[in-house]
Structure 1
Amino acid sequence: MTATTSTIRVALADDQALVRAGLRALLQAQHIDVAFEADDGEGLLRKLAAQSVDVVLSDIRMPGMDGIAALQALRERGDATPVLLLTTFDDSDLLLRATEAGAQGFLLKDAAPEDLRDAIERVAAGDTLLQPVSTDPVRSRYRFHDDSAPVDTFSEREIAILRLLAGGYSNKEIARTLFLAEGTVKNYVSVILDKLGTRDRTRAVLKAITLRVI
């Protein structure tokens, strides 16, 4: 059963008590329950072992075990709970590392309350959100092992679909946005993955960012 706004339960991890208090207030105002809080990655993992949640909302940078290390440990023990990482623009060089560790998305710390709610709902529903992290640092600081140009050029429609993929849109949502049949979008996505030489949508978007396709 997909979680709804009134039933989503979130674990909140941040080393700053004032930040946690502010986030808790925002979440409660959006009718999202905070099941528990932790001030570091170790505390988060310990509490998650005893209590399940729908989404983990964690700061990337925390003393001791940070958000990415906690995420890696969570995945290593077989816990697939969606993780939404809190970040600032100067954290965007961690995008690829965090995504490969299993993060479902990123949220800027100064995001509007409605964006916070939307991001949590979408991640809880299984979407991946790579925006709104700045893409320029990703281009400048990360390079794929195969940094060659794509095997083919991209049409305007394919670029539009890539941008929607970067925003975490599903095939159905892309179809509705671009007034296409869902099967047509699926075919476009397959072609895009082939051109970028990857089978994974997330890595396709990251590679497209790195190679300045989008």
Structure 2
Amino acid sequence: MDPIDAPLRLALADDQALVRSGLRALLGGFPRLQVVVEAGDGGSLLQALDALAADAPVDVILSDIRMPGMDGFGLVRALRARGIATPVVLLTTFDDDALPLQAAEAGAQGFLLKDASPEDLHEAILRVAAGATLLAPVPTDPVRARYAYRDQAAPTDTFNEREVSILRLLAGGYSNKEIARAVFLSEGTVKNYVSEILDKLGTRDRTRAVLKAITLRII
């Protein structure tokens, strides 16, 4: 089968059985989308993912944010700590300006309100599966204002996709070793990327780099 036509294998975590059932039915109506595993909380989903055959991983994970036990943020952090870089789209019913930033800091690639249209959800899944991010479905200006960095000079050069991914992991507080596992690079290569990021942003440390990247809408 041509990779372009291959189905996207999805994992789903939500503590409400009716929501999971509805999402499964909704996603099944789109071509190429296939829910292969689901669970009622983050911990159970991790166990279910562990049980999958190594040669049949999922392509995208959809998770509610607020669940008993391990919530959506905890699920993303646990995945990244294991070096699993599978894209995660976090879903919530809460329209909170701080949530997109928290999702980015945790290491998620996507964030959507549960009242988004089916087409928006479909598009989000396709985009994160292709390596893009979707982390601003609600206004983020108040969040950016709160974290605004005083130096707003433009970077000395543009950022490629790999550098943006590493910046997002820096925002999550990950070490070079943890980032290396998540993006499948050597720790030395990640260190070089971080140095290049700091140079482009004109900042002295990782915290300032993240704050400036948020302020300039790089992440």
| TM, length-normalised to structure 1 | 0.67
Q: Does the 8 Å CA contact 1:60/1:66 hold for their aligned counterparts?
A: yes
Aligned to 1:25: 25
Find the residue that maps to 1:57 and give its secondary structure.
strand
> 1:152: how far off?
5.4
Aligned to 1:108: 113
Which digits, 9 at most, give the CA deviation of each residue in 1:175-203, with x for residues without a partner?
A: xxxxxxxxxxxxxxx9xx9468599x997
Match of 1:208 among 208, 213, 216: 216
Query: What stretches of structure 1 of length at least 5 have no aligned partner?
Result: 159-164, 166-189
> 1:2: how far off?
9.1
Aligned to 2:125: 120
Distance 1:149 1:79, change over 3 A: same
Distance 1:129 1:203, change over 3 A: farther
Aligned to 1:179: none
Q: Does 1:143 align with 2:147?
A: yes
> 1:129: how far off?
1.1
Distance in 1 (CA, whole Å) between partners of 2:119 and 2:95 is: 23
Query: What stretches of structure 2 of length at least 5 have no aligned partner?
Result: 159-163, 165-195
Q: Does 1:16 align with 2:24?
A: no
Find the residue that maps to 2:112 and give its secondary structure.
strand
Distance in 1 (CA, whole Å) between partners of 2:122 and 2:210 is: 22
Distance in 1 (CA, whole Å) between partners of 2:87 and 2:2 is: 13
Q: Does the 8 Å CA contact 1:3/1:54 hold for their aligned counterparts?
A: no
Distance in 1 (CA, whole Å) between partners of 2:94 and 2:2 is: 31
Which digits, 9 at most, give the CA deviation of each residue in 1:121-176, with x for residues without a partner?
A: 11011111122122144236x425xx2140259xxxx9xxxxxx9xxxxxxxxxxx
Q: Does the 8 Å CA contact 1:84/1:105 hold for their aligned counterparts?
A: yes
Aligned to 1:92: 97
Q: Does the 8 Å CA contact 1:196/1:208 hold for their aligned counterparts?
A: no
Distance 1:67 1:59, change over 3 A: same
Matched positions, count? 170
Q: Does 1:49 align with 2:43?
A: no
Distance 1:76 1:134, change over 3 A: same
Distance 1:91 1:40, change over 3 A: farther
Aligned to 1:175: none
Aligned to 1:129: 134
Equivalent AA in structure 2 for residue 42 of structure 1: G
Distance 1:132 1:3, change over 3 A: farther
Distance in 1 (CA, whole Å) between partners of 2:93 and 2:212 is: 23
Runs of 4+ in 1 over 3 A off after TM superposition: 1-6, 193-199, 201-205
Distance in 2 (CA, whole Å) between partners of 1:138 and 1:3 is: 39
Equivalent AA in structure 2 for residue 143 of structure 1: Y
Find the residue that maps to 2:47 and give its secondary structure.
helix
Decide which moves more: 7-16 or 89-98: 89-98
Distance in 1 (CA, whole Å) between partners of 2:210 and 2:12 is: 25
